[in-house]
Amino acid sequence: MKVVFVEKPHSLEIREVPVPGPGTGEALIRVRAGGICGSDMHIYHGTNPLAKYPRIIGHEFSGEVAEVGKGVTGFVPGDRVAVDPVTSCGTCYPCSIGRPNVCERLEVFGVHRDGGFAEYIVLPEKNLHRIPSDWSFEKGALVEPFTIAANVLSRTECSGSDRLLILGAGPIGQVILQAARRLGTACAVADIVGVRLEKARSLGAELTVNTRETPLEETMAEWTGGAGVPLIIDAVGSPDLFPSLLRMASPAGRIGLLGFSKEPSSFVQLEAVKKELSIFGSRLNRNKFPEVISWFSDGLVKPELLVSHRFPFEQVREAMKFIEENPSEVCKVILEF
């Protein structure tokens, strides 16, 4: 079978490897669609500090069950599945309080273990979630990005009475926007790419701000009548932005952090203490696949609006180059297997 193999940073190739067989409690999945995430590109370029090499990349993917191993009772060959890439030990402190996404021994398919940019992959049954047979595999591959939104909105206790500022109108910013709008939350979105902001407006953003042209802090003060923003979610992760988040947040406000950098940010404790701010990190998803699958089934979000381009998976290098060279045109790129 063919796989997308990153031997080391800046070294990506399509490699032939044997088709694996499922062990006890596992299933062999024929991969049919995969979404390229920014983290996949960071692994390729050597800028993802969490990745282990060599690696078959890909953590946003779906497919169909080709074969089941002993002890698998919930799936049969032919079932369509979306894949939760998170694996956890089940016994450490985070796991014991229902937060396996930050397990002490966390491993993610496509980052720490070989992932789904392959024609076949063996996975534990517990990582599989059945999707309706009339769904496209592309739709199944989009479940994982929406679980990122489900997780951060849960962590920050987003509600329909909130005003939410989303920093970044790329794929993750757009899924957060869709997920928040299903609650009726008033949303503002900030970015530097005009086309992405136009897309945000079409998805229900009440206000969009091109920060290359308009001062964000002043605009947020006007939007909130000087009261500050109750909820801010940062999907960018630029260290320079953090002091501004503290200033823009309202008293008793919440800040959710999704983007990340190894570089330090300035932190003015006075801002956090005098306003009694809550700051939440959010990583991956905490068993959110069933919830997001229900969103899709009930029509509460429109995942298909996220997809901008499709490539055969053998053209993954070309797809990544296209993403880098055309930021104003690209949202989510799907690899077809």
Other CB atoms within 10 A of residue 200 CB: 26
Residue whose C-alpha is closest to residue 237's, from 145, 172, 146, 323: 172
| CA–CA gap between residue 133 and residue 80 (Å, rounded) | 6
Name all domains of the chain by residue range, CATH numbers in brackets: 2-130+302-336 (3.90.180.10), 155-281 (3.40.50.720)
Residue whose C-alpha is closest to residue 115's, from 146, 145, 84: 84
| CA–CA gap between residue 184 and residue 168 (Å, rounded) | 20
* Residue where the block lists tokens 């951060």: 152
Q: What would the DSSP string read from start to end of 217-263?
A: HHHHHHHTTTS-EEEEEESS--GGGHHHHHHHEEEEEEEEE----SS
Instruction: Let me know: does 245 contact 224? Beta carbons within 8 Å.
Output: no
Residue by residue, pLDDT tens for the chain (337 residues) are: 999 999 999 999 999 999 999 999 999 999 999 999 999 999 999 999 889 999 999 999 999 999 999 999 999 999 999 999 999 999 999 999 999 999 999 999 999 999 999 999 999 999 999 999 999 999 999 999 999 999 999 999 999 999 999 999 999 999 999 999 999 999 999 999 999 999 999 999 999 999 999 999 999 999 999 999 999 999 999 999 999 999 999 999 999 999 888 888 998 899 999 999 999 999 999 999 999 999 999 999 999 999 999 999 999 999 999 999 998 899 999 999 9
